[in-house]
């Protein structure tokens, strides 16, 4: 076999730098486990000043979902996981889409046959049987077929797959950065299919070829691939290639016994965003699902993406499964919401405020500051502010407040004396409303709460509101404020 083409491919491989890759299949939304893999892969590259690659693995054509590739790009961009090479920006070792590398896999599969690490198999097997690995090499007549005879059958047009030739005896030791050395008896490994009848590679084979040709130095993947790992080693050894550092991460669980799954309603990144969680909070929490900082930062919980890149090291990755706790994520999200600049919070909250408050007369920029410290996610906004749109039906019991020393009787009196004071205001501002209400309380020699609580109750119909009486008056406007106070007076008068 002429090695010129293979030598040229080897010459293209970048050397002397850490290179990692995120290689998703475009089969749907980005679930939490996938996001964690992308994040860890990006962090390794950035921690070492290396390159981060995006590769689209679309060889399983039957599972592709329309629009899923765009979801990958959008998610990566939103999360700030910028890639240095990929399908959209190119690079020295492209193409970066597996289906566009089809001829490459076929050539390397045939080279592996020449090297004795694989063989042509003409046995009749369904595609599902090929993919499952359910294959007994001991009874396969093709394994020991002379290469000349096999090539003649290929030349005659006989359908075939190419299988990996696992050594019949001995064992294979695989090293993982998290789990250490793992040794498997070769007798337990199957002669997996590398190249299918349609000429497309299997997942395992395409990964090995692409990782080598793209100069990948560190591979992050789920621990469910540990059982396949020794076969990767054997492929690298058969080609005479250096094995990259493998980092197998334990699964993200929804409880002690079950892995997270979209089928069971567990949220994807897109779902969490739709539920009102901030990207920065999601990333911070996901980073700690299976990794913990060490040294001076061992007790630190909150990290920016840049801080994570500086702190991230492989030694901090845990072998134990991580349980996804939505309440813990909510805790992170609340901290991030409260830490936002008021202008940034207002901009991010506006879509939720517009959905909750339809009345165009309400100034949403005045509402936003009231809810910033009162919500864990953006979805918490609507139940707190829906009364701005329309006054809900409420019980007079809300006027009774022991601490404020309010009763039904003195609440009615408070509304009756407050209404003309507010009606007389010609300047409807926070300061004028505040001064009028405080001044009235002083004049009547009452505690502020005796005035404020009845007014707030009449304006909101709720026991708890974001903001007090003054803020609610300002936001509702003079006309609506007086209207709601009239309704409160009528309701109390008829009780």
- CA-CA distance, 315 to 297, in Å (whole number)? 14
Is the Cβ–Cβ distance between 415 and 489 less than 8 Å?
yes
- CA-CA distance, 489 to 494, in Å (whole number)? 9
- CA-CA distance, 312 to 286, in Å (whole number)? 13
Q: What is the Cα gyration radius of the chain?
A: 32
Question: Which structure tokens are listed for 66?
Answer: 């329309």
Q: Is the peptide bond before 304 cis (omega within 30 degrees of 0)?
A: no
Selecting among 115, 262, 347, 443, the annotated active-site residue is 262
- CA-CA distance, 375 to 389, in Å (whole number)? 19
Question: Which structure tokens are listed for 354?
Answer: 């517009």
Q: For tokens 């990006």, name the residue.
A: 42
- CA-CA distance, 119 to 161, in Å (whole number)? 8
Residue 213: CB atoms within 10 Å: 17
- CA-CA distance, 187 to 178, in Å (whole number)? 25
DSSP string, 231-270: HHHHHHHHHTPPPPEEEEEPPEESSSS-B--GGGT--BHH
Alpha helices in 156-228, H assignment, sequence order = 203-213
**DSSP summary character for residue 291:** B
Look up 262 and say whether it is catalytic: yes
Could you report how far apart the first and last alpha carbons of the chain are, in Å?
Answer: 98
Q: Which residues are catalytic?
A: 262
């Amino acid at each position: 076999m002429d090695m010129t083409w293979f030598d040229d491919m080897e010459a293209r491989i970048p050397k002397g730098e850490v290179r990692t890759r995120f290689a998703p299949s475009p089969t749907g939304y980005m679930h939490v486990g996938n996001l964690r893999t992308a994040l860890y892969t990006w962090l390794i590259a950035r921690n070492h000043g290396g390159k981060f690659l995006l590769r689209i693995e679309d060889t399983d054509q039957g599972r592709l979902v329309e629009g899923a590739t765009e979801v990958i790009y959008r998610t990566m961009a939103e999360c700030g996981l910028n890639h240095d090479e990929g399908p959209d920006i190119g690079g020295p070792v492209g193409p970066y889409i597996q289906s566009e590398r089809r001829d490459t896999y076929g050539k390397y599969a045939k080279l592996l046959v020449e090297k004795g690490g694989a063989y042509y198999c003409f046995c009749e097997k369904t595609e599902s049987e090929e993919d499952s690995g359910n294959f007994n090499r001991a009874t396969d007549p093709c394994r020991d077929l002379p290469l000349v005879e096999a090539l003649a059958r290929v030349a005659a047009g006989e359908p075939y797959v190419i299988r990996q030739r696992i050594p019949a005896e001995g064992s294979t030791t695989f090293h993982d950065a998290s789990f250490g050395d793992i040794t498997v008896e070769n007798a337990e490994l199957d002669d997996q299919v590398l190249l299918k009848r349609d000429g497309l590679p299997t997942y395992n084979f395409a990964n090995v070829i692409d990782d080598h040709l793209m100069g990948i130095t560190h591979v992050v993947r789920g621990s469910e691939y540990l059982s396949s790992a020794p076969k990767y080693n054997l492929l690298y050894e058969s080609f005479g290639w250096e094995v990259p550092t493998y980092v197998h991460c334990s699964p993200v669980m929804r409880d002690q016994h079950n892995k997270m799954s979209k089928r069971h309603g567990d949220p994807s990144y897109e779902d969490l965003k739709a539920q009102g969680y901030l990207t920065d909070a999601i990333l911070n929490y996901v980073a700690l699902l299976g990794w913990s900082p060490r040294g001076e930062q061992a007790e630190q919980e909150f990290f920016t993406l840049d801080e994570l890149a500086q702190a991230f090291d492989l030694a901090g990755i845990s072998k134990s499964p991580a349980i996804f706790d939505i309440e813990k994520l909510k805790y992170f999200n609340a901290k991030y919401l409260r830490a936002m600049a008021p202008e940034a919070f207002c901009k991010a909250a506006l879509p939720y405020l517009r959905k909750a408050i339809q009345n165009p007369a309400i100034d949403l920029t005045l509402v936003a500051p009231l809810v910033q410290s009162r919500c864990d996610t953006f979805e918490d906004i609507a139940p707190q502010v829906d009364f701005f749109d329309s006054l809900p039906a409420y019980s007079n019991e809300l006027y009774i407040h022991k601490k404020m020393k309010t009763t039904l009787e003195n609440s009615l009196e408070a509304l009756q004396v407050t209404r003309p004071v507010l009606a007389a205001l010609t300047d409807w501002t926070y300061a004028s409303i505040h001064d009028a209400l405080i001044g009235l309380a002083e004049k009547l020699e009452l505690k502020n709460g005796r005035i404020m609580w009845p007014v707030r109750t009449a304006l909101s119909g709720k026991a708890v509101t974001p903001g007090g009486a003054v803020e609610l008056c300002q936001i509702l406007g003079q006309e609506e404020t007086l209207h709601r106070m009239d309704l409160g007076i009528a309701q109390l008068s008829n009780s």
